[in-house]
A = this chain, B = another copy of it.
Amino acid sequence: AKSDRRKKVVGALKAAWPHVKLFIILVIYSMFGAVGFWLIEYPHETALVANFTEARTQLLKDMWNVSQVFTGGDWTEEMTILVERYEHTILAAYDGGIDPRGVTGGQAELQWDVAGSLFFSVTVFTTIGYGHQTPATVAGRVFCIFYAIFGIPILLLTLADIGELLARGLRYIAATVNSKLRPNMMESRKDDVPLYGIFIVVFLVMSLGALVMMQMEDWTFEQAFYFIFVTFSTIGFGDLVPRHKMYSLAASLYFLLGMALISTSFSLSQDEVGRLLKKWGDLKASCKK
């Protein structure tokens, strides 16, 4: 009996291996990206921070000089020029890839440390592309293009694999539900999963995730749900990005599951829209006759 159980476990592991293998490849590829982007972008970012610190010191000097020379309306005019110019400096630094809010007293939180580079790599091959941090060097951009060219197909393969497992699970649920509720249904159609069924599953998975994320990130439910939708659909605006990137990576299985679910729903909806358009065309044709 014991060796029977062992055989079963070994059999299950063997069956799971092809799926686990894809996931491991993805993890290795992420780490490769992390090291690559870190090597390319980190030194550049350090230099940017130094430049920005200098610009801030310069502003204070300029303001001091203005205050020594001008008063009244002239003072306001000169100061307005300095302030508006400084706005350009801040936003150029921000667009250039550093966050001035993180630079105080010579200390800076750098985005392109290994953890940040790892999170960035994931946003590339998933095509989410939050854009909260982007390569600022030519080398980084070239690396990014090649990283995407090889990474996106690997991710698509993984998502297709997860999607197939999900479809199996959903068909099993549909068969169980239909056997109980509609015993007269044709046996061969019992495991058909209706489109609205998938949308209900998607909605539940997203709501659960939103409940967890609103705790972790101090977001409202609405914000968390919006963030998860924008992520799963791979739109990835980047207006909301998790502060704690490492646990987001820890939750990567959840994110992969969600992306697979939503891309399945979208391609099923695509078929549905295609059918509707065809029906509509046929209807118009038959009306003409």
- What is the interface of chain A, defined by CB distance below 8 A to chain B? 18, 21-22, 25, 56, 59-60, 63-64, 67, 75-76, 79-80, 83-84, 86-88, 90-91, 94-95, 99-101, 104, 123-124, 127-131, 134, 138, 141, 144-145, 148-149, 152-154, 156-157, 160, 222, 226, 229-230, 233-239, 266-267, 269-270, 272-274, 277, 281
Contacts and interface: CB of A to CB of B under 8 A. Distances in A.
Among all A-B residue pairs, the 8 with the closest Cβ atoms: A129-B235, A153-B269, A131-B237, A134-B239, A131-B238, A153-B270, A156-B270, A134-B237
A152 B281 CA distance: 21
A151 to B, nearest CB: 10
- The majority secondary structure among interface residues of chain A is helix
Contacts of A83: 56, 59-60, 86
Nearest to A229: B145
Copy number of this protein in the oligomer? Answer: 2
Given A22-B277, A152-B233, 19 more contacts: A59-B83, A60-B76, A64-B76, A67-B67, A83-B86, A87-B90, A91-B100, A94-B94, A95-B239, A127-B233, A129-B236, A130-B237, A131-B131, A131-B238, A134-B237, A141-B222, A154-B270, A156-B266, A157-B274
A88 B59 CA distance: 16
Contacts of A153: 266-267, 269-270, 272-273
A99 to B, nearest CB: 8
A152 to B, nearest CB: 5
A25 B281 CA distance: 13
A124 B79 CA distance: 41
A270 B101 contact: no
Contacts of A273: 153-154, 157
Contacts of A101: 87-88, 91
20 contacts: A21-B281, A60-B83, A84-B104, A90-B91, A91-B100, A94-B94, A127-B233, A129-B234, A129-B235, A129-B238, A131-B238, A148-B233, A152-B266, A153-B266, A153-B270, A154-B270, A156-B266, A157-B273, A157-B274, A238-B238
Nearest to A70: B67
Among A21, A91, A123, max chain B CB count under 10 A is at A91
B21 A277 contact: yes
Nearest to A141: B226
A3 to B, nearest CB: 21
Nearest to A22: B277
Contact of A129 (B22, B75, B237, B277): B237
